[in-house]
Structure 1
């Protein structure tokens, strides 16, 4: 019984030591039941530890994959922005249905900036914003 045992020492004991102290006061049949329960709990804990380690490995793998994908996205974004120029301001003419965005860019740069460029200097021109009707 608990009251019959001497008081525990003040230094911390491991869980195993505490269980062993408690088991020593039990009958033979009770010791078998407790030891069987301890083995079952240990088996469950071992399986959980194994599962946790598998999940940790998966997390590291996924973190690495996310990092790779972020780098790929950054590379693609940099490639797309490599020669992008946005032209805005009052010198941009109003949009018309029959206009060529390339012609608008060429005319604006030639007239406003006084730079002579050709159609071959423009890769893909676009108007930004909603279309006017």
Structure 2
């Protein structure tokens, strides 16, 4: 008994009585093996054709169901996609606004810093007065700066432990002339 998988070969072990198949389909009570009828040899191509026919029937039904599901899903997703597009546009607009505001803030800070000077390498002492230190530096260098020319001054950052480095002094002068006089000295 040899079953061949080659297209067109007959399957020797598969003999089907045509009336038996018809009787089973019409549900007659006549036994199939008692009725002598011509038999049909099922070939691989016949089985393949039957398989293809039933597979396409199932596939068409499945495809219809999938298409219906996809259409429903897309109907639900289209408003979401539109909303996402709108949100992306809003985010882009806000990012541009933030960039403009950051530039404006930087310009404003730069203008406020135009009266500032950073003084480095000045030894630190406990209970020091940075205004007094700056006044002494101005006197030592021949500048005519008075305390009223200094709006504010302080050390930059938190106190450091004894690492040998001194924090810078940031001084904000009341006017640009006082700043240039201090720098020139």
Q: Report the TM-score when normalising by structure 1.
A: 0.57
Match of 2:139 in 1: 110
Correspondence 1:54 to 2:86: yes
**Distance between the aligned counterparts of 1:94 and 1:40, measured in 2?**
74
- Higher Cα Rg, which structure: 2
The structure 1 segments of at least 4 consecutive aligned residues displaced by more than 4 Å after TM superposition are: 30-35
Give unmatched runs, 5+ long, in structure 2: 1-48, 162-185
**Distance between the aligned counterparts of 1:41 and 1:125, measured in 2?**
66
**Distance between the aligned counterparts of 2:74 and 2:120, measured in 1?**
70
Kindly report the root-mean-square deviation, in angstroms, between the aligned alpha carbons of the 2 structures. Answer: 3.6
**Which structure: greater helix fraction?**
1
**Distance between the aligned counterparts of 1:38 and 1:87, measured in 2?**
70
What secondary structure does 2:144 align onto? Answer: coil
| CA deviation profile, 1:56-97 (whole Å, cap 9, x unmatched) | 1222232123213322431343134221112233xx465252
Q: Report the TM-score when normalising by structure 2.
A: 0.44
What secondary structure does 2:154 align onto? Answer: coil
**Which structure: greater strand fraction?**
2
Structure 1 residues 50 and 119: CA distance shift in structure 2, 3 A: same
Match of 1:126 in 2: 154
Greater RCO structure (CA 8 Å; 6+ sep)? 2
Match of 1:66 in 2: 98
Contact 1:109/1:115 (<8 A) preserved: yes
What secondary structure does 2:151 align onto? Answer: coil
Question: Given the alignment, which residue of 33, 50, 71 partners 1:39?
Answer: 71
